[in-house]
A and B are shown apart, each in its own frame.
Chain A
Amino acid sequence: MSLKEVYNEQPKIFKFSDKNQKIIDEILKKYPDSNKKSAVMPLLYLAQKQNDNWIPLAAMKYIAKFLSIPYINVYEIATFYSMYNLAPVGKYFVQVCTTSPCLIRGADKLIKVCKEKISSKERKLSENKRCSWMEVECLGACVNAPMMQINDDYYEDLNENNASEIIESLLNDKPLKPGSYRGRKNTSPEKNKNLNGNSSK
């Protein structure tokens, strides 16, 4: 991990869409008026969703003004959490977990695949601009290590080969289906199919 770089081509203005504005009204209802600054994280996430999965500076300024908190506070939060992207990511955004359990199960090999197939540096777009990748800390799927998250889906129980296939499919814009790549259902034990609910009989 290194400090996130802010994209150098920034849009001048940012405005939430009407649909999102309604969602914001709902979010703000959750917080008392005196503490509406607590809404900064959901708002940043919403801005990210609206703007092709990255947050422009204009959006941070907009949110700071909207919640009447200092701009630097919004900026601090956006740089602190790895889920906020400050530069454009690919249509398929690959996040590889490299925390201990995944690393023991071979996450470094997935990183190697990403470096070869997508781009040599994290957060850099692939040549056809469809894909980008980054290392992240634990994504909470240690039982299915190693794993990676592609946009909102988890791809689990990977090895070098099927990770390579998955990324190939992303680059060709025909993504494979998410889930376990060793035929497990969710996190159920692999050998004892009896405990697997539906396939016992």
Chain B
Amino acid sequence: MTSSHGNAHSEGAEMEQIITEFFAKSLHIILESRALYVSSRNSFGDQVVSSPSSSSSSSSSVRPRDKWFNLALRECPAALENIDLWRQSNLEPIVIDVVLVQRPVNWDPASFPPKRVLPRSSSMKERYPFSWNSDQEELGIETKSEKIIERWVLQYESGKTRDSNSNSRRSSNISLHTLYKKSTLLLRSLYSTVRLLPAHKIFRELNSSAQIRPFTLVHRISSFIEPFTRREEAEMLKFGFTPVDTASGRLCLSVMYLPSASEVSSEPTTPMSPQVITDYVGSPLADPLRRFPLIPVTGLPSYGSPSSLPFSRRHSWSYDHFRASSPSIACSPSPTYSESHTSVSNANSRHFPPASLPPQPTELSLIQKKNTGFDDRYPHPSHSIDNFGSLPTTTILRTESAPVRIPAAEVTNSPAFSNRQYLLPSPPLGGSRRASKTDTNMSIQTGATAEKLFSLGKDEPQKYSGVKISANSSPHISFSRSSSRSYQDDFDDSDFTCPFNEDDLTDPESRAESFDHGHMADALEAGGFFPIRKSHDAAVGTLVHLLKKAPPLRQDLSTSEHLSQGAHSEIWNNNIKESNQIPDALMPVSMTSSGLIATRKTTADALEEFHSYREMKNLLLTRGSKN
């Protein structure tokens, strides 16, 4: 095959090894920046690396694999597995299809574990069935739409015929060194090309955080080319890397890619993902009042095309989201939030006597705010109702227990809602927030009642208002403004926690149980307990969690609800009953209880909660990034 040298054999073996390693490296480079469960992100500069696995490349140790072509790559299980398979073949071509999969809007992330299914049994030589990375099998495939956005073809053209012509001169000229150098150069350009192609943008988006996207990337590796339709082919551009000649053939690498791929991804993304992100990054609490005006201006335009705004990339655009959805965010930690949407009447707020709350100046302030807020609310109730209309209202409303509330919040945040929908409801929310501040303590206790009230009928505005207030009482509002004044910041938390505290007080064990039941419960509780201020992360985590598990949660909610209710103290039950029967009566009761709770709660407790919450968040993030 090759050269006239005496050491032809060994040289041939070396050459083959170089070729083999070239395949391996190429595959590694491509998958590393396309396979989702591996983060290719390096922590660099100010860029945010959300995926925990990102920094692996920075490790100083040099593995033997890294020395090949002097290119140290991050771990990429997908690549390693596939290359192991490939090694059994005889330098067969490798075809890597990168596929954009659009998920149905209401897909269930919970059923989407990052599990890899590799048909190990089938060998490459048999034209092994595609080795799909992960997702493919697990998703409900029926509803998905797939599009190949990149096809990499890596092959070794054995050049015997060609070699025979220029034979000795050529082959002898191509030293192993040259081959190695050239393939090294080729791999360098492959490395940067992979990052320039539109698919990388999608990959980056998917990988940059644990957000849930309506699309994902999968890759298929096979040894034969499944031809494109003519139309598909027309859409694609081809980039052929200059082949590297070897003594007996040449290494060829080319890619066909869809130039519009990034647009494909961004279209569906924009409406949904931003909300989630927003919650994540932004701190809506910072200036709840101000957000409102901004929403119409910045929020919408930026949503449309995040990619087109260089300045608004990532954080910035998320920030916009943030603004727009901020009200929702604030509410999210507490289930009551959803209730707030339903916007209760002001009457209840008035009912809540400041006295009932712990005698704190903050509450007074809250009350004042409530009053103002109420006015705003009244006009808006219709909006909120409409929003709920789209949702399974009954379930949401019913899920009143603390855990339940969270899910409700989730629902509102869930992708199913378009941003616009969000925006509409948000104004009422803003109003409600203010009002809610006063009520925060109440909300926990009353929450259940509120739900029932809602379910019972919309006829009774007063009931609603009471409920709302409690709902609104969500930690954000109450903490930031009202409580802060009276207490130190730390104490502010107590207001929020009150609901939880109550649970704790009544039945500590029950709470523990709820934890065991699942992350959901934890997330919910945590969210409810912690003041937004302190735990943005926590709030984010909750959101993420909730979103991922939204559908199942609702179901769970009912159960959780029961559990929680059971766990609740008698007072709680009483409250509920009373609320159902006599909505107005509820108010005082809840108030008192909340007051007690508030006093008992300590910052230490809050901190503890916070930590547990954090753990959860990290867990979620890890999981999310793997997805």
A binds B: no
